[in-house]
A and B are shown apart, each in its own frame.
Chain A
Amino acid sequence: MKRWPVMLWLAVLAGCLWWVTAQTRFNTDMAAFLPDSAAPAQQLMVDQLKDGVASRLVLLAVENGSTGQLAESSKKLSRALEASGHFSYVRNGEHGLTPAEREHLMQYRYLLSPTTDTSRFSAAGLEQGLQDSLQLLASPAGAMVKQLLPSDPTGAMLNLLEDWGGASSGPSLQHDVWFSDDGRRALLLAETRAPAFDIDAQQQVGDAIRRAFDESRSSPELRLLMSGPSVFAVQSRNLIHNDAWRLSLVAMLLVSLILLLAYGSPRLLGLGILPVASGALVGIAAVSLSYGNVHGITLGFGATLIGEAVDYPTYLFTQRAAEESLRNTLERIWPTLRLAVLTTVFGSLTMLFSGFSGLSQLGMFSLVGVLAAGLVTRYVLPEIAPDHFAIAHRVQTQALLARGASMLSGLKWLPLLALAAAAAYLAIQRQDLWENELSRLSPIPSPALELDRSLREAMGAPDVRYLIAVPGNTRQAALEHSETIAPQLQELVQQGITAGYDLTARIIPSERTQAVRQAALPEPETLRRNLDQAVAATPFRADIFEPFLRQVEQSRHLPPLQIKDWQGTPLGGLAGGLMVRQGDGWVALISLRNVSNEAALKAFASRLGGDAFLLDIKGESSRMIMQYRDQSLRYSLLGVAAILLVLGIGLRNIRAIFAVLLPVAAAVLATAALLAGMDIKLSLFHVVSLLLVLGIGLNYGLFFNRPALDEAERRRTLFGVLVCAASTVSAFGVLAFSATPVLQAIGITVALGAVLSLLFAAMWAKTK
């Protein structure tokens, strides 16, 4: 027994174990499946999806009760949530604006109001303001506005209140809280302090909300509904988490059962698991070392390795002749096994280069894992296996298989036909083969998406799809530029192209704009003279406007309003979210609500000056998915070329290469065609799975076409391949039952592909 391979193996395992347990961070953020390297627009879009304008918002609704009960529950829940400290703000319609917001609006009204200019504060301008105020005083709203009049005769504050605190900007009110139009749901809106991508924190927030609701509800009938990006993130994490671990466990059990039946020896089963286990451990460590973290889906994909690398010891054990030493068996089958490992390694390279960090992690994991499993099978297993051991030979099963195989070998034309038919079908269907919507890959079930849509509609908080991005070298430059665009947007609103827009500058104008407005405020003596003149022409008493005179003078000396002044308020959240850092500069975002005419908007955007541009988040993400799929298809072709090269070097025989390649090519295309025929839109994940089919199918072909000394060896090979195929199909068949679309896609594709590969390869197996 050579000791050094075993020592090396143990040392590597120990190192990896330490690294994985002590140093590895696991993350479950779906955004990791977006590319890292992207154009500025795409980067901006990815950032927006990760932690953008609305990603921290949680939409809540209470339903199934009388309006009185719902309103009471909404009020109690909102107090409890505010007290929990998890939220920067909670709104349920009770107070249009928070006290802090009212205070800021009041203090900075003349710097915030677009109506502030010199004419407004002239005698004539003030008189106009006073006349308007008089009308208001005599109206049904008079009792409410009269307290404000002595400090705000120009109506600046009232305009701001109308803009920001107007109940008309939110859902309708019943019993002082927001309700959906049908009156069945009381609505609440909250912004979490934790970023949307911090899923552990978001999980705690979700638990806190449910706890607060349970404690505050007056009737067990009441139901709480929750939605929003962070809620989705938690949901999908839990789904993937449960799925990945549960399914991997089931797959592992199934595969163990099959191998136990095949070998009839629990001891060999134990040995057979060593390469896979080592491969998985080394794979996780490699991913962690090269990417800094390991994605949950990468782990879920561990099931791939079970199907793929469990095969290596299976080939070894089933090929062993009676009383042969494993070293001898290995010498016989190593050239074939080596080709099998190398083709899979080259197949995985494609994923590694796909550009999606989540996907390239998978590539790295299976590449390193398969390589490690192959090396362990070759160099470690024979050293640690006992010299003499019994193995079930299953002679009768093998005889049965041989009969079946010789029947199949009469069907050599079938793979050819399948290849041609599948290629033709795919060519005809090529227009609608592909899934281009990122959202379809999300594990969120459609009822949850429907709930989100209806809550957003009721709340008047539609999903942000269109943004105008206005870059600038500094925050102020970006703000100033966005201020010049805003008046043009007003025209779009009037033309009905969009329902409205939000931008930071409405809440925090640029310092320059604030300074211009300050400069328009007259000096105290001038203002007093103008006001006296104006008041004389109205029925107002002359001495009541002292607060106004004092506050205008204060406004002239205020330091400019900053983002930090608004911290922890809904308006501050909106303002901060629409101002993002990018590279060395800043981007001011203008979000557009309910765009009804896409073409007109695009035409408008194309006329925008400077480097401002329109960002279509949905369109951009679809475009990105397409781009990356095309790219990975290109890499796949490179992968196939690499595999061909490996086969050419390994087999050195055109006929043999053809006999190995034809069945697997037919299996891959037929699988794709069958999926398309089942109305399944193909995604990036199907492409990757088909690549795995390619790797597995090549192994079948390689072993079926291995030169055999006698009929007994040929039958052993047949049996070995069948055992491999059975374990692959069961492992991936289990994934097909996953609720996560990604895992499901992989499961169906590989299971189907493995069955077809086995059948087609058997048809082209060497018969003597």
Chain B
Amino acid sequence: MTTGKAPNLRHCECSEAISFFAPRRVERLPRRLRFLAMTAILLAWAGTVQADWDTPTLMKMLAERPAGQVRYSETKHSALLKEPLKLTGTLRYKKPAFLQKHVQTPFEEILSVDGERLTWEKPVAQKKHILALRDYPAIRGFIESMRSTLNGDVKTLERFYKLRLDGTEQQWTLVLLPSDIDMAQFIRVIRISGSKARISTIEIEEAGGDRSIMTLHEDVP
């Protein structure tokens, strides 16, 4: 389990880093404030020099892609399981608000979201649930991390998460932190990595340490 815990620590540092602008600290440490201000100015300057690589640019690139279909493999680590659960299947997405996650192994399950409608199908058991997404805010937040990212819908994404973009255009990581307290009960952080307009991994870290890593393979023609 040590390997499982390493990212946790890293994450904790991240959230510390995010909240370092807390005003009381700034008041107590004016010298540090000056230092920080300088750093911020330097960084901003560096940003303008280094082309415009920011979240809106990334999301615009993602939004400009045509509808797509990719194969994925997912590894789910859970404290409840003896060994990680490996799943494979396909993801289909289409603007403005369509996403289908078709699990093919080790069992078959089709999860489709279109607008507000969530369809949950288990072909073997011949069961089908249709739900209104707005009735399940936590599940919706979970789904938007994938749907809005794949479709480049920054507005919706920002309703559920605080966004931060690390890295370069060649090798970027978009960090999603749940902004809603109810969702934060279940999800700690989601990290989406990729290169240019191609998403390569989606890593979801749940509260309590369980996590899943989804790797997206080359687009299926």
Residues on A facing B (Cβ under 8 Å)? 131, 134-135, 137-144, 146, 149-150, 167-168, 172-174, 176, 539-542, 544
Contact = CB atoms under 8 A, between A and B. Distances in A.
B98 interface: no
Interface centre among A131, A141, A143, A176 (most CB of B within 10 A): A143
Interface in B106-129: 107, 109, 111, 120, 122
A146 B134 contact: no
B4 interface: no
Contact of A168 (B107, B135, B206, B207): B135
A541 to B, nearest CB: 5
Interface stretch (B13-21, B38-46, B59-67, B82-90): B82-90
B158 interface: no
B160 to A, nearest CB: 13
Contacts of A176: 137, 182
A463 B122 CA distance: 36
A143 B85 contact: no
Contacts of B186: 143-144
B189 interface: no
A145 to B, nearest CB: 10
Contacts of B107: 131, 134-135
Interface stretch (B50-58, B138-146, B165-173): B138-146
B183 to A, nearest CB: 9
A548 to B, nearest CB: 12
B8 to A, nearest CB: 15
A539 B135 CA distance: 31
Given A167-B135, A168-B135, A176-B182, A143 B210 contact: yes
B137 A146 contact: no
Nearest to A128: B125
B83 A539 contact: yes
B22 interface: no
A144 B137 CA distance: 12
B132 A143 contact: no
A544 B81 CA distance: 9
B142 A143 contact: yes
A135 B80 contact: no
A149 B81 CA distance: 11
Given A131-B107, A135-B122, A173-B134, A544 B142 contact: no
B202 to A, nearest CB: 12
Given A167-B136, A174-B134, A140 B142 contact: yes
Given A135-B122, A143-B186, A146-B208, 12 more contacts: A137-B80, A140-B142, A142-B206, A143-B142, A146-B78, A146-B210, A149-B80, A168-B135, A172-B132, A539-B82, A539-B85, A541-B79
Contacts of A142: 76, 206
Question: Interface extent on B, as a size class?
Answer: 20 to 34
Interface centre among A150, A542, A544 (most CB of B within 10 A): A544
B74 to A, nearest CB: 8
B211 to A, nearest CB: 10
A144 B83 contact: no
B103 interface: yes
B206 A143 contact: yes
B100 to A, nearest CB: 13
10 contacts: A137-B85, A143-B142, A143-B187, A143-B206, A146-B210, A149-B80, A173-B134, A176-B137, A541-B79, A541-B80
B11 to A, nearest CB: 16
A544 B122 contact: no
Contacts of B74: 138
B207 A143 contact: yes
Contact of B137 (A131, A135, A138, A173): A173
A135 B208 CA distance: 19
Contacts of B12: none
A137 B74 CA distance: 13
Contact of A137 (B76, B83, B134): B76
Contacts of B137: 173, 176
A173 B134 CA distance: 6
Interface centre among B120, B131, B135, B139 (most CB of A within 10 A): B135
A173 B141 CA distance: 14
B138 A144 contact: yes
Nearest to A145: B186
A144 B80 contact: no
A134 B85 contact: yes
B139 A141 contact: yes
Given A135-B107, A173-B134, A174-B134, A140 B139 contact: yes
Contacts of A143: 138, 142, 186-187, 206-207, 210
Contact of B81 (A131, A150, A173, A541): A541
A172 B134 contact: yes
B111 A140 contact: yes
A140 B74 CA distance: 13
B82 A540 contact: yes
B82 A138 contact: no
A304 to B, nearest CB: 56
Contact of A135 (B109, B136, B182): B109
A134 B137 CA distance: 22
Interface in B15-37: none
7 smallest A-B Cβ distances: which pairs? Answer: A167-B135, A143-B186, A140-B142, A143-B206, A539-B81, A541-B82, A140-B139
A204 B173 CA distance: 59
A146 B204 CA distance: 15
Contact of A139 (B80, B83, B109): B109
Nearest to A134: B85
Contacts of A168: 131-132, 135
A135 B107 CA distance: 8
Nearest to B141: A140
A174 B143 CA distance: 17
A172 B83 CA distance: 39
B75 to A, nearest CB: 10
A144 B109 contact: no
A144 B138 CA distance: 8
B210 A138 contact: no
Contact of B135 (A140, A146, A150, A172): A172
A695 B87 CA distance: 90
A140 B160 CA distance: 15
Contacts of A139: 109, 111, 120
A715 B187 CA distance: 98
Contacts of B81: 137, 539-541
A386 B44 CA distance: 109
Interface string B172-209: 00000000001000110000000000000000001110
A639 to B, nearest CB: 61
Contact of B143 (A134, A137, A140): A140
Contacts of B109: 135, 139
B80 A146 contact: yes
A101 B115 CA distance: 32
A138 B76 contact: yes
Nearest to B107: A135
A134 to B, nearest CB: 7
Interface centre among A134, A137, A176, A539 (most CB of B within 10 A): A539
A628 to B, nearest CB: 46
Nearest to B116: A172
Contacts of A140: 111, 139, 142-143
Interface centre among A135, A149, A150, A540 (most CB of B within 10 A): A135
Given A138-B85, A539-B85, A150 B80 contact: yes
Nearest to B118: A140
Contacts of A137: 76, 78, 80-81, 85
A139 B85 CA distance: 12
Nearest to A140: B142
Nearest to A175: B137
A541 B81 CA distance: 5
A385 B182 CA distance: 85
Nearest to A93: B135
B51 to A, nearest CB: 36
A140 B136 CA distance: 11
A143 B87 CA distance: 16
